[in-house]
Amino acid sequence: ILVSPLDVIKTRLQAQSNPFPKGKCFVYSSGLMDHICVCENGDSKAWYKKPGNFKGTLDAFVKIIRIEGIKSLWSGLPPTLIMAVPNTIIYFTLYDQLREALKYRLEKDDGYIPILAGSLSRCNALTVVSPLELIRTRMQHRKLSYKQLYMCVSTKVAADGWFSLWSGWSSTVLRDIPFSAMYWYNYERFKKMMCNKIGAHEPTFFIAFTSGAASGSIAAVITQPFDVVKTHRQTALWESETLEIPQRDSTSTWAVMRKIVSSNGITGLFAGVIPRLCKVAPACAIMISTYEYGKSFFSHLSEKLNQRP
């Protein structure tokens, strides 16, 4: 919720300098989830096509609030939250459970446990949420009743099999698994180091916030090429399946990478790294610090309740 305005502003600035053509797609990200939007016709009043003579990020921020109201900074957020809530719950809960289980099995707090636990929990969360993402994109393209949606999904399954519900899963995994592994490894290291420095037995809100921001930033920079590839593949897949625009080139990860490098050089693989850092760092910091605080709060509350006669 807190980082969504950053991407709304970025998208509006992009639309101003390079208007999105009808029928094409762009990826809107809230910092938690990617959200594919298909551009509508010229008469559309969609949030990303509202006029605005913006001179920069700060100018856009001020003008959007003054002219359209502060709510416009959270345009496109509801469908993202629908996906983000179950995804985050599964992800964080699984990570904690897997980490504790691995520590118990190995009988030591090995430094590589967060890598394994983070990777497995992210993979499971993505696998569960992927079919929901497909359903959401279908509903986003055109308004469907639940019966029509059921028929749409049933037809796809009948034609392409159950695995078709996980279209695009591999490209997401290629970005999110390395990100998750690096994020949790660095987070646990930073957290332990800072706790030892101040002599704390459990992380404070500040420690969790700082560790989350630092580890999220490192992971975001290293995995940026996969994020760029994922964006290309997402939009290509959407245009192919939903808008029925044929794909001429190979959509494999390495083929997309080669195409990007040949067109824009190696720096093309790191396009948008600064905006992504501006979203990912605070998003990671807020999520993990809130989670750690909530976990600590309810743990202490449970202890107090158990101590009562």
pLDDT digits (tens, 9 = 90+) for 135-147: 655 554 455 566 7
Q: What is the mean pLDDT of residues 285-309?
A: 86
Does some domain include residue 179?
Answer: no
Residues 69 and 86 reside in one and the same domain: no
Question: What was the pLDDT predicted at 248?
Answer: 56
pLDDT of 154-183, one tens digit each? 777 777 777 777 766 776 787 788 999 999
Domain boundary among 112, 143, 167: 167
Residue 7 has pLDDT above 50, yes or no: yes
Are 59 and 131 found together in one domain? Answer: no
Query: Domain for residue 26, yes or no?
Result: yes
Flag whether 172 is in a domain. Answer: no
Q: What percent of the chain has pLDDT over 90?
A: 19
Residue 263 lies in a domain: yes
- Please give the pLDDT value at position 236: 61
Lowest mean pLDDT among 19-33, 162-176, 193-207, 213-227: 19-33
pLDDT class of 115 with cuts at 50, 70, 90: very high
Q: Tell whether 84 and 65 lie within a shared domain.
A: no
Considering the domain boundaries, does residue 184 fall inside one?
no
Using the predicted structure, report yes or no on whether residue 45 has a pLDDT greater than 60.
no
Give residue 43's pLDDT band: very low, low, confident or very high (50, 70, 90).
very low
Q: Tens digits of per-residue pLDDT, 50-103? A: 545 667 778 877 887 888 788 777 765 665 666 677 888 889 999 999 999 998
Q: Give a yes or no: residue 69 inside a domain.
A: yes
- Based on the domain organization, do 251 and 151 belong to the same domain? no
pLDDT tens digits for 232-290? 665 565 555 555 555 555 556 778 788 878 887 888 788 777 877 888 888 899 989 99
State yes or no: pLDDT of 42 exceeds 50.
Answer: no
Same domain? For 218 and 291 the reply is yes
Which residue range is the domain that position 303 belongs to?
Answer: 201-309
Looking at the fold, whether 211 and 306 belong to one and the same domain comes out as: yes
**Predicted local distance difference test score (pLDDT) of residue 18:** 44
Among the candidates 145, 167, 189, a domain finishes at: 167
What proportion of the chain, given as a percentage, has pLDDT over 70? 64
| Residues 40, 112 within the same domain | no
Q: What's the structural domain count of the chain?
A: 3
Claim to verify: residue 305 and residue 236 sit in the same structural domain: yes
Domain final position from 167, 185, 210: 167
246 and 209 in one domain? yes
Banded model confidence at residue 114, pLDDT cuts 50, 70, 90: very high
pLDDT score at 208: 94
Residue 186 lies in a domain: no
pLDDT at 212 over 90: yes
Q: Higher confidence at residue 24 or residue 183?
A: 183
pLDDT at 113: 92
Q: pTM, whole model, 2 decimals?
A: 0.70
Same-domain check for residues 219 and 265: yes
Taking 80 as the threshold, does the pLDDT of residue 37 lie above it?
A: no
Which pLDDT score is estimated for 229? 76
Please check whether residue 192 lies inside any domain of the structure. Answer: no
Name the band, by pLDDT with cuts 50, 70 and 90, for residue 108.
confident
The answer to whether residues 211 and 308 belong to one domain is yes
Residues in the chain: 309
Domain match, 59 and 110 both: no
3-state SS string for the chain? CCCHHHHHHHHHHHHHHCCCCCCCEEEEECCCCEEEEECCCCCCCCHHHCCCCCCCHHHHHHHHHHHHCHHHHHCCHHHHHHHHHHHHHHHHHHHHHHHHHHHHHHCCCCCCHHHHHHHHHHHHHHHHHHHHHHHHHHHHHCCCCHHHHHHHHHHHHHHHCHHHHHCCHHHHHHHHHHHHHHHHHHHHHHHHHHHHHHCCCCCCHHHHHHHHHHHHHHHHHHCHHHHHHHHHHHHHHHHHHCCCCCCCCCCCHHHHHHHHHHHHCHHHHHCCHHHHHHHHHHHHHHHHHHHHHHHHHHHHHHHHHHHCC
